[in-house]
Amino acid sequence: MNGTTARKAVEPEKEERTLIPIEKTKKCQGCGRTLPLTEFSRHWRSKDGYMEECKECRRRRTSAATSSNPLEKFTARQLMLELKTRGYKGTLEYVEVHHINLSTI
Ligand SMILES: [Zn+2]
């Protein structure tokens, strides 16, 4: 028996360390930009602990909410009467939103 065991050349395990980006990013659901997490406010209820929208979007949205349409505080009837007193003639079309709780019917 000629016992020459062929040694298999064992390749040294390559240790490839992929560099982990220090700054993690997140895609903003508001503007669609991928921004560093520092641009997102923390939010305990979300999965990753950050808001879905970046700080900029949030600021824009909250400022838009406070300076919303001034006509919104009037009812459709009030607006119609206002237009009538101002001499507006024509047809007005509006959509009313009804909130009906089906469990009470
Ligand atoms: Zn954004």
pTM of the entire predicted model = 0.41
DSSP 8-state symbol, 25: E
- Residue 86 Cα to ligand 1 midpoint, Å, equals 42
Task: Give pLDDT tens digits for 29-42.
Answer: 999 999 999 999 99
pLDDT higher than 60, residue 16: yes
Choice between 16 and 20, residue whose per-residue pLDDT is larger: 16
Task: Report CA(22)–ligand 1 centroid distance (Å).
Answer: 21
Angstrom distance (rounded) from CA 39 to CA 57: 10
Identify the pLDDT of residue 89.
84
Give tens-digit pLDDT for 39-92: 999 988 888 899 999 999 998 887 766 666 667 777 778 888 888 899 988 887
Q: How close is the Cα of 41 to the center of ligand 1, in Å?
A: 11
The stretches of the chain forming alpha helices (DSSP H) are 55-66, 76-85
**Quick one: 9 exposed, middle or buried, by C-beta within 10 A (0-12, 13-18, 19+)?**
exposed
Q: For the chain, what are the domain ranges? A: 25-99
Q: Distance between CA 80 and CA 57 in Å, rounded?
A: 35
